[in-house]
Copies of this chain bind each other. A is one copy, B any other.
Amino acid sequence: AQAQAGSSVQLFGLMDIGVQALKASGTDTRYLVNSDGNTSSRFGVRGTEDLGGGLKVGFWLESAVSVDDGTSGATSTNNKDSVSGGLTWGRRATVQVSGPWGELRLGRDYVPSFGNLTTSMHPFGTNGVGSSGIMFYPVPANGTTARTNVRASNSIGYFTPSGVNGFYGHAMLALGEQGAGPTRKDGQLTGVRIGWRNEALNTSAAISKTRYATGDYTQSNVGMSYKWGPARLMALWGRNEVGITRTTATMLGTQWEVWPQGELRFAYTWLKARNVASDATHIAIGYVHDLSKRTALYTNLAKVDNKGRGTRFNVGLATTQPGGDSGGFEAGVRHSF
């Protein structure tokens, strides 16, 4: 049925699905029908109420969707363990109050240091075989599997008002809410992001630290995006520290509007590892073709190369050979509502 007209609730979403071929050293090629090659699929409900005097209150509920099988995505109640098995509003669940002084946001939300890994600073954002996540997400170590490299639950966030001389900022405190004992502060995150943008340049630095009894997790990064004619040049530096381990990645890339409906994407990333995994590189090229404002076709091609005896990094299919590489190709359609 059609929903009633009148007020302030919005159903929204995005569906991205395509076919994917993956190949890694020592394995057969795998073919997949896969979600999210271009943008993360989602279903959500959101709304805003104007309280007068510049004050607004709003809510946001957003869940992940795997279009290929109808499952949703995980969340975490304590920023330490993963919870899944049906629809969760794991992508975002917040109530926010905003005014001339900025915005206060409570609930489950993106951490400050995630902002630089999206398409604002990385040509592919966190999707597909070109995903920034391949090189810029943390490597689990010594019992610490960080769950806060993208979002955190039980968070209190503050955003500066938009448009004050181009500056923007985001600070977050998120609680782990564990019981007593040595792990009781596990999952507690503090993070901050500061940036500046005008019509051509956007640059920002961020750091988020999460406490874990098995080894704290720190994500820090600096991104830059510069519009140069039809191209947007991008550079991203990011570091993940889990206990005494450390991976540091640097990316140079571009989103290039080759004609009004088409955007070429390219990114090259090199990663240095310490006390964990091994060095690696990631090269990706893609093309996005708009069919309308809401719908696009896309294709991506990427390769990840492990250095030395490394096997950690791949585009979705693990290599079975030390120092092996893996490659992936995908083509799909993205549709938003």
Interface residues of A, Cβ cutoff 8 Å to B: 1-13, 15-19, 27-28, 30-34, 43, 45, 47, 49, 51, 55, 57-59, 61, 63, 65-72, 75-77, 83-95, 97, 106-108, 153-156, 174-175, 177, 180, 184, 291-292, 294-295, 332-333, 335-337
Are B72 and A106 in touch, CB under 8 angstroms? Answer: no
Q: Which of B1, B10, B16, B92 contacts A1 (CB 8 A)?
A: B10
For residue A57, which residues in chain B have a CB less than 8 angstroms away from its CB? 291, 295, 333, 335
In the complex, the answer to whether B89 meets A86 with C-beta atoms within 8 Å is no
Q: Can you list 6 A-B pairs with a CB-CB distance of less than 8 A?
A: A1-B337, A3-B9, A15-B59, A67-B95, A71-B77, A71-B83
A84→B88 CA distance, assembly (Å): 11
Listed residue (A1, A9, A33) with the most chain B CB atoms within 10 angstroms of its CB: A1
A294 contacts across to B, CB distance below 8 A = 49
Find chain B residues with CB under 8 A from A2 CB. 3-7, 9-11
**Other-chain residue from B3, B34, B85 in contact with A11 (beta carbon distance below 8 A):** B3
CB of B335 within 8 A of CB of A45, answer no
CA A120 – CA B95 in complex, angstroms? 26
Distance from A98 Cβ to chain B, minimum over Cβ atoms (Å): 12
Closest chain B residue to A85 by CB distance? B85
Closest B residue to A56 by beta carbon equals B295
Residues of B contacting A49 with CB < 8 Å?
Answer: 292, 294-295, 335, 337
Closest to A320 in B: B180
Partner of A12, one of B1, B66, B68, B91: B1
> Which residues on B sit within 8 Å (CB–CB) of A61?
13, 15, 43, 65, 70
Of the candidates B27, B180, B292, which one forms a contact with A28 in the assembled complex, judged by CB atoms under 8 Å apart?
B180
Contact B9 A1 (CB under 8 A): yes
Q: A9-B11, A27-B180 are in contact. List 7 more A-B contacts (CB 8 A).
A: A17-B107, A32-B154, A33-B156, A61-B65, A67-B108, A86-B86, A86-B88
Instruction: Contacts A49-B335, A86-B88 given; indicate if A75 touches B69 (C-beta within 8 A).
Output: yes
Nearest 8 CB-CB pairings of A with B: A86-B86, A85-B85, A5-B5, A70-B89, A69-B153, A2-B4, A70-B93, A3-B3
A67 near B94 with CB under 8 A, answer yes
Q: Which residue of B lies closest to A73 (CB)?
A: B70
Contacts of A91 in B (CB 8 A): 70
Bound together, the chains give a CA A66 to CA B78 distance in angstroms of 12
Q: Is the CB of B89 within 8 A of A65?
A: yes
